[in-house]
Structure 1
Amino acid sequence: IALWKRNGSWFCTTGIARTTHIIKPGIPTLPHQAFNEHITMRIVEAMGIPVAHTSFHIFDGVPAIISERYDRIVSANGTVTALHQEDFTQALGIPSSLKYEEHNGPTSNAYAEMLRKHGLPGQAESNIRAFTDGILASYLVGATDSHAKNYSLLLDGASVRLAPLYDLASVFPYLGHGKQIINATLAMNIGGRRDLLQLRRKHLERFAQRMGLDVESVILRFHTLVDRLPEAFDSTVQPAHDVIASIGAQEFIDSYRKRIMMVYDDAMSWMASRKGQ
């Protein structure tokens, strides 16, 4: 539901009037899905990666995530200007049905090549690194549905910038116990690997090479994100304690953290080994 927010009130728009926010009710078959998406977005932001600003709200008993549109500029008098945005399938000129690799869609290196060909001098590598961050963060928080339509570009003349990340939600709270976690697979592979808990140095090396980036810089970036993961989770969840209690989501959060720590421990284990293969 796309709406215009003005002075704390919500409005539908008509004609050429622009909306400022998107309100998405949670998916009924997935417990706490709207809160999941909101908290996952905030965890990734706490890891130092730009994401769309979100909030969580319950409308007449219906939980929803409210996402502030990053492709809008709101002036002091309330005038809303739209920025030109294209998701990756639009930018590459392919149908949305090809947004997943597993459905014969392009792989991440094809999108990296697209980014390399467009934008102002110096923007290409910055955009590719930001895209790489998104893929690595999706692995770490279990956001397995980060397909090509969940990455977008902001276009302004010759300028091309990767948009903040959006639509990130974790599968971790919904998975079984122990190693059953590996049944979840990423929308975009990392060096040929899509299974959670199976990423190793060789996959990061292959991933960096395919993205056209320095291998050691990508591995260092992954190490940095891994180091930040537990604190990012805890610092995000702790202020939301009252909300978690009010919606009865403590077991959900405990399950989420348990699997976050499984990914963290797995990554720390192979990074600490000499080979890390």
Structure 2
Amino acid sequence: MKLDVLLGHLLVGTLEHDPATNRFAFAYAQQWLRAKDCFALSPQLPLFELPGQPADAHSAAVRQFFENLLPEGQALDAAASSHRISKSNLMGLLVALGGETAGALRLRLDDVGTEEREGVRPVSDAELSERIRLRPQLPFSVWDGKVRLSIAGFQDKMALYRSTAGWAIVEGVDLASTHILKPEPVSSALAGLTSNEFVCMRLAKAAGLPVAPVELIHVPEPVLVVTRFDRRVREGRIERLHIIDGCQALGLSSGFKYERPYGDVRDVRQIRDGASLPRLFALLADTAQPAAQRLQLLRWTIFQVLIGNTDAHAKNLSFFSGPEGLSLAPAYDLVCALAFDRQALAGTYAMAIGDAFSEDELCPYEWANFAEACGLNPKLVGRELTRLAKATLAALDRELGEAIRLGAKAEPVAMLEQVIRTSCRRQIDMAPEIPSAC
């Protein structure tokens, strides 16, 4: 089984699977290697074969990279069921879902004569509303009998193209979705999530973080609309930008997006084999602008703490990947998780600050511990913590009122306000002690 891997119209390489050995292999195309601006898709998939790398190690790296292109949770279940493919059949799922992934990659059967379909299928607000209401019976990712989503995450979402004519599902090389639409979750335990995320994204922008643009629409159900930062409109064409998430960059499967991949219970909580902040900071040491990139990651980390986003895992962090290496993409999926019941969203951090996995455990010593593990100056950490906490508090009143005016619900906004105010004040108090806590 072979699949062509393309960036736009360009053949980058070939993905192969041998069912007899269950091994995967990826090789860059010669025309890609000859291109002046060619680059590795990921640090874990170098342009040239690593000397002495065992076939099993190469297979694992390839599988981990490509499986991270698939959705998770119910969306993956729906894709497997709709196409009558086992969830463990990576190649089959990539054939079904590889036409449009997060980033620029497209996958297709390696038949140069294959004609790729072009199409624009309008989606009205009325149909969108109906599909939101039908989610208990019909997965939101399935439209016209076909799964239309290959974007990681458990939350319901749909990738659509927006033009002056409205929303549409599109297919084709020069057409691609431009926005991600996220309705309220079906679970009542997560009621108000669209308002929560809307406010947190606006707060991040007000505090100076690069973030994906968001808006809140009503069809009449509330829907958070996120502008895709991996898309760019040029001369009537949609240009896809290559991005990878934190798991792809680290060479981890999606099951290791949390630092404690086996859970927080007593017998396994000491095992920290998953994605971690020190590993992510180490990735940026060899970038074109390491100091700027590491500062951006530090600010991203601090802001997760300030808003109580305990679910900030490695797949909620992305990097642009190109000829100059990695650079951090804008922030997304920013949510005040602590505003929800602990049964709905965990109260422990997805990735520890030092050795602190919760807000209660976080103290000046753990911030200093974090700084040392990540190769950061503790004074810098303290200054940025103070600055961002004060900037977030200063923006809070203005952004909360504006968010409600733009359609956010008052109750979830009030709940997250209490969490964020308390967190910011606590961090401001402890920040001066970080340099001396080493």
- Which of the five TM-score ranges fits, normalised by the shorter chain? 0.7 to 0.9
Q: Which residue of 2 aligns with 1:229?
A: 392
Q: Which residue of 1 aligns with 2:295?
A: 129
Q: Out of 64, 70, 74, which is 2:233 matched to?
A: 74
Question: Could you tell me how far 1:271 is from its partner in structure 2?
Answer: 4.1
Structure possessing the higher radius of gyration over alpha carbons: 2
Q: Which residue of 2 aligns with 1:96?
A: 254
Distance 1:161 1:272, change over 3 A: closer
Distance 1:195 1:3, change over 3 A: same
Contact kept in structure 1, 2:365 and 2:434, CA below 8 Å: no
Matches within 5 A, 1:111-260: 111-117=280-286, 119-120=287-288, 123-175=289-341, 184-244=347-407, 249-260=409-420
Q: Out of 63, 78, 84, which is 2:222 matched to?
A: 63
Distance 1:106 1:171, change over 3 A: closer
Question: Could you tell me how far 1:242 is from its partner in structure 2?
Answer: 2.8
Aligned-pair Cα RMSD in Å: 2.1
The 1-side partners of 2:369 and 2:236 are apart by 48
Q: Which residue of 2 aligns with 1:20?
A: 178
Alignment deviations for residues 55-87 of structure 1 (CA, whole Å, 9 cap, x no partner)? 11122x322111101111112x42110111000
Q: Out of 244, 266, 291, which is 1:86 matched to?
A: 244
The 2-side partners of 1:3 and 1:253 are apart by 27
Contact kept in structure 2, 1:172 and 1:255, CA below 8 Å: no
Distance 1:269 1:113, change over 3 A: closer
Question: Could you tell me how far 1:269 is from its partner in structure 2?
Answer: 3.1
Q: Which residue of 1 aligns with 2:195?
A: 35
The 2-side partners of 1:157 and 1:243 are apart by 40
Contact kept in structure 1, 2:247 and 2:257, CA below 8 Å: yes
Contact kept in structure 2, 1:172 and 1:260, CA below 8 Å: no
Q: Counterpart amino acid of 1:51?
A: V
Larger relative contact order (C-alpha < 8 A, sep ≥ 6)? 1
What TM-score do you get using the length of structure 1 for normalisation? 0.87
Paired residue total: 263
The 2-side partners of 1:274 and 1:93 are apart by 32
Residue 225 of structure 1 aligns to a residue whose secondary structure is helix
Residue 187 of structure 1 aligns to a residue whose secondary structure is coil
The 2-side partners of 1:43 and 1:275 are apart by 27
Distance 1:126 1:271, change over 3 A: closer
Q: Which residue of 2 aligns with 1:180?
A: none
The 2-side partners of 1:151 and 1:272 are apart by 28
The 1-side partners of 2:436 and 2:411 are apart by 33
Question: Could you tell me how far 1:131 is from its partner in structure 2?
Answer: 1.3
Q: Which residue of 2 aligns with 1:4?
A: 161
Structure with greater helix share of residues? 1
Residue 266 (1) aligns with residue 430 (2)? no
What TM-score do you get using the length of structure 2 for normalisation? 0.57
Structure 1: tracts of 5 or more residues without a match:
177-182
The 2-side partners of 1:173 and 1:236 are apart by 17
Contact kept in structure 1, 2:306 and 2:389, CA below 8 Å: yes
Alignment deviations for residues 213-238 of structure 1 (CA, whole Å, 9 cap, x no partner)? 22211111111111112122222112
The 1-side partners of 2:372 and 2:435 are apart by 19
Contact kept in structure 1, 2:310 and 2:337, CA below 8 Å: yes
Q: Which residue of 2 aligns with 1:179?
A: none
The 1-side partners of 2:332 and 2:411 are apart by 25
- Fraction of identical pairs, as percent: 27
The 2-side partners of 1:274 and 1:204 are apart by 6
The 1-side partners of 2:413 and 2:436 are apart by 30
Distance 1:268 1:113, change over 3 A: closer
Residue 218 of structure 1 aligns to a residue whose secondary structure is helix
Distance 1:213 1:62, change over 3 A: same
Q: Which residue of 2 aligns with 1:107?
A: 276
Q: Counterpart amino acid of 1:231?
A: A
